[in-house]
């Protein structure tokens, strides 16, 4: 029975991974990716490096390795940060290969319990907007009640619960940037570039103020912001967890919704969602009804920083008197290769000093729900980043992804540091506030 399962798993893995065999055989084993890999840096095990994982995938395809056991473990420990892709001279498409490997681990039924539980929650909660909206509303009530803060300060909770509460608290809005005083005349809909913002499940659920700030800044800069009725979760977490079928279903629903909206650009302010939506083209390449539409959809997707940096921004007049640092989300810098756009925008805000941040291109350990699945390793990876932030002496760390926002925010909170986390677009929104009052 076990032998039959192993054989079946190996065949399935070979089926999906063989679609990426060109990429797998592109690896020349140079090892340049090793120093960029957070799990290798932390664990020092070749099997937990990109080169080692590519080698394991190749061994499974060639029938030299049983896909259960050690293979599953090393694939599971990967953050999916794709730092290896950025430094790889051979262009190994590691992200695609990882998704295929995880899909096969899932299909083989040998995935660790935490992975299986995650997939069940993602499949049955994140595909139902009304239910997810209700759960997010409950989470906001808990967050804003002050109880999580009390529980952490009084040390009543420990382990994953303490971390989970710290992550929830960290999704709260920045006090240092304040709130808009009143709706500005410039917020009114005006004819301009037609865009729609992906509201996102976690972004709208826990970071709705970032979404509103994004819409204000877009409108301020000549965009007509339309709604894509029927939009759903982007499916990034599903794809990363190896549930490619659910990711495809969500992608099709989003393509339908945004096509109906009739917009020129689909704006995304969450790096992980943007990376996933730019990859709908690949995800649905084999779907006769959606392949062409997915390619057109992906062509229209822009991270908000990538979109705005190409525009001549309307002047910002509210001087903020802040020292900030920027931490690059992996799915912005590595998956989308957007490096300087957020900084180029923030630099235009008056009264903002940008401090360098050592290791800003390294993963924070958040990686979707990796921090809850592997809390020990994730917190060790995060510790270096928190040390670097503490050394930078900034008021606010900027990052454009909800997972990174919460992970870094939780790390700062649990370390007792008074540094806040905000989205780069919130700096622009705050810097426009003076102009809005005058408008």
Q: Does 28 bind ligand SF4 (CB under 6 A)?
A: yes
CB 313 within 8 A of CB 221: yes
Binding characters for ligand SF4, 235-274, by CB under 6 A (x = yes): ----------------------------------------
Distant-in-sequence, close-in-space partners of 54: CB < 8 Å, separation ≥ 6: 24, 27, 92, 94, 97
Among 57, 65, 76, 94, binds ligand SF4 (CB under 6 A): 94
Name the strand (E) or helix (H) holding 354.
Answer: strand 352-354
What is the rounded distance in angstroms from the CA atom of residue 371 to the CA atom of residue 377?
8
Assess 32 for contact with ligand SF4 (CB under 6 A): yes
Could you tell me the smallest distance in angstroms from the CB atom of residue 397 to ligand SF4?
21
Shortest distance, position 185 Cβ to ligand SF4, whole Å: 46
- Among 37, 107, 213, 349, the residue binding ligand SF4 under the rule CB under 6 A is 37
Give the number of other CB atoms < 10 A from CB of residue 66.
19
d(CA 91, CA 30): 12
- Options 67, 80, 274, 402; binder of ligand SF4; rule CB under 6 A: 80
User: How far apart are alpha carbons 406 and 206 in whole angstroms?
Assistant: 10
27 binds ligand SF4 (CB under 6 A): yes
Q: Counting contacts by CB under 6 A, is residue 125 touching ligand SF4?
A: no
Of 227, 328, 196, 330, the residue nearest 275 (C-alpha) = 330
Whose tokens are 């004819």? That residue is 191
Q: How far is the CB of 89 from ligand SF4 (least distance, A)?
A: 6
Span interacting with ligand SF4, options 72-80, 145-153, 176-184, 243-251, rule CB under 6 A: 72-80
Binding status of residue 78 toward ligand SF4 by CB under 6 A: yes
CB 164 within 8 A of CB 414: no
Three-state secondary structure call for residue 11? helix
Contacts of residue 67, Cβ cutoff 8 Å, sequence gap at least 6: 6, 9, 10, 13, 60, 104, 105, 108, 110
Helix and strand numbers, DSSP H then E, in the chain:
25, 8
Indicate the residue among 34 and 414 with the shorter CB distance to ligand SF4. 34
> What is the arrangement of strands in the sheet containing 396-398, beginning at the earlier edge strand?
352-354, 322-326, 396-398, 420-422
Q: Does 79 bind ligand SF4 (CB under 6 A)?
A: yes
84 binds ligand SF4 (CB under 6 A): yes
Our finding on whether 370 is near ligand SF4 (CB under 6 A) is no
DSSP at 313: P
Binding range to ligand SF4, per CB under 6 A, among 37-45, 224-232, 349-357, 408-416: 37-45
∠ Cα 329 434 271 (to 5°): 15
CB of 327 within 8 A of CB of 404? yes
CB of 85 to ligand SF4, least distance (A): 7
Cβ-based nearer residue to ligand SF4, 127 or 371: 371
For residues 9 and 85, give the distance between their C-alpha atoms in angstroms, rounded to a whole number.
27
Residues in contact with ligand SF4, shown as a per-residue x/- string from 308 to 347 under the rule CB under 6 A? ----------------------------------------
| Minimum CB distance to ligand SF4, residue 34 (Å) | 7
Closest CA to 173 of 200, 209, 143: 209
Residue 90 in contact with ligand SF4, rule: CB under 6 A: yes
Contact region with ligand SF4 (CB under 6 A), list: 82-90, 240-248, 255-263, 388-396: 82-90
72 binds ligand SF4 (CB under 6 A): no
Which of 79-87, 109-117, 185-193, 277-285 is the region at the interface with ligand SF4 (rule: CB under 6 A)? 79-87
Instruction: Give the residue with the Cβ less far from ligand SF4, 103 or 349.
Output: 103
State the DSSP H helix or E strand holding residue 258, giving kind and residue range, or none if neither.
helix 244-261
Instruction: Indicate the burial class of 291 (C-beta count within 10 angstroms; 0-12, 13-18, 19 or more).
Output: middle
Chain residues 41-70 in contact with ligand SF4, contact rule CB under 6 A: 50-51, 53-54
Q: How many residues bind ligand SF4 (CB under 6 A)?
A: 26
Whole-number minimum distance, CB 40 to ligand SF4, in Å?
Answer: 6
- Phi, psi dihedrals of residue 287, rounded to the nearest 5°: -100, 110
The reply on whether position 88 binds ligand SF4 by CB under 6 A is yes
Could you say whether residue 92 binds ligand SF4 (CB under 6 A)? Answer: yes
Interacting stretch for ligand SF4, rule CB under 6 A, among 33-41, 66-74, 254-262, 393-401? Answer: 33-41
Three-state secondary structure call for residue 177 = coil
Secondary structure percentages of the chain, helix, strand, coil, to 5: 60, 5, 35
Residue closer to ligand SF4 by CB (options 79, 346) is 79
Work out whether 30 is an interface residue with ligand SF4 (CB under 6 A): yes
Residues found near ligand SF4 in the complex (CB under 6 A): 27-33, 36-39, 50-51, 53-54, 78-84, 88, 90, 92, 94
């Amino acid at each position: 029975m076990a032998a039959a399962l192993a054989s079946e798993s190996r065949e399935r893995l070979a089926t999906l991974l063989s679609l990426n065999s060109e990429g797998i055989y592109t690896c020349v084993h140079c090892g340049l990716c090793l120093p960029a890999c957070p799990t290798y840096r932390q664990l020092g095990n070749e099997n937990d490096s990109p080169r080692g994982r590519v080698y394991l995938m190749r061994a499974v395809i060639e029938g030299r390795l049983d896909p259960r056991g050690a293979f599953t473990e090393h694939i599971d420990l990967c953050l999916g940060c794709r730092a290896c892709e950025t430094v790889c001279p051979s262009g190994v498409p590691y992200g695609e290969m990882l998704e295929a490997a995880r899909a096969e681990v899932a299909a083989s039924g040998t995935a660790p319990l935490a992975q299986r539980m995650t997939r069940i929650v993602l499949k049955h909660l994140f595909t139902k907007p009304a239910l997810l909206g209700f759960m997010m509303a409950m989470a906001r009530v808990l967050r804003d009640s002050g109880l999580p803060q009390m529980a952490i300060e009084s040390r009543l909770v420990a382990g994953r619960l303490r971390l989970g509460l710290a992550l929830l608290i960290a999704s709260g809005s920045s006090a240092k940037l304040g709130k808009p005083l009143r709706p500005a005349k410039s917020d009114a809909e005006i004819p301009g570039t037609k865009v729609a913002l992906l509201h996102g499940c976690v972004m709208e659920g826990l970071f709705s103020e970032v979404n509103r700030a994004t819409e204000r800044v877009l409108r301020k800069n000549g965009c007509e912001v339309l709604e894509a009725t029927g939009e759903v979760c982007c499916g990034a977490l599903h794809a990363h967890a190896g549930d490619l079928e659910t990711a495809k279903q969500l992608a099709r629903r989003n393509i339908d919704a945004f096509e109906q909206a009739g917009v020129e650009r689909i704006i995304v302010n969450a790096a992980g969602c943007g990376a996933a939506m730019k990859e709908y083209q690949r995800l649905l390449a084999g779907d006769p009804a959606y392949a062409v539409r997915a390619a057109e959809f992906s062509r229209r997707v822009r991270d908000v920083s990538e979109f705005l940096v190409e525009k001549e921004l309307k002047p910002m007049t509210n001087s903020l008197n802040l020292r900030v640092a920027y931490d690059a989300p992996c799915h912005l810098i590595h998956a989308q290769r957007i490096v300087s756009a957020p900084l180029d925008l923030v630099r235009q805000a008056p009264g903002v000093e940008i401090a360098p941040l050592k290791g800003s291109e390294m993963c924070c350990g958040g990686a979707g729900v990796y921090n809850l699945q592997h809390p020990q390793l994730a917190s060790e990876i995060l510790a270096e980043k928190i040390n670097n932030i503490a050394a930078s002496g900034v008021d606010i760390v900027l990052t454009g992804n909800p997972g990174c926002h919460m992970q870094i925010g939780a790390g700062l909170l649990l370390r007792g540091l008074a540094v806040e986390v905000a989205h780069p677009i919130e700096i622009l929104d705050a810097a426009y506030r003076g102009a809005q009052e005058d408008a």
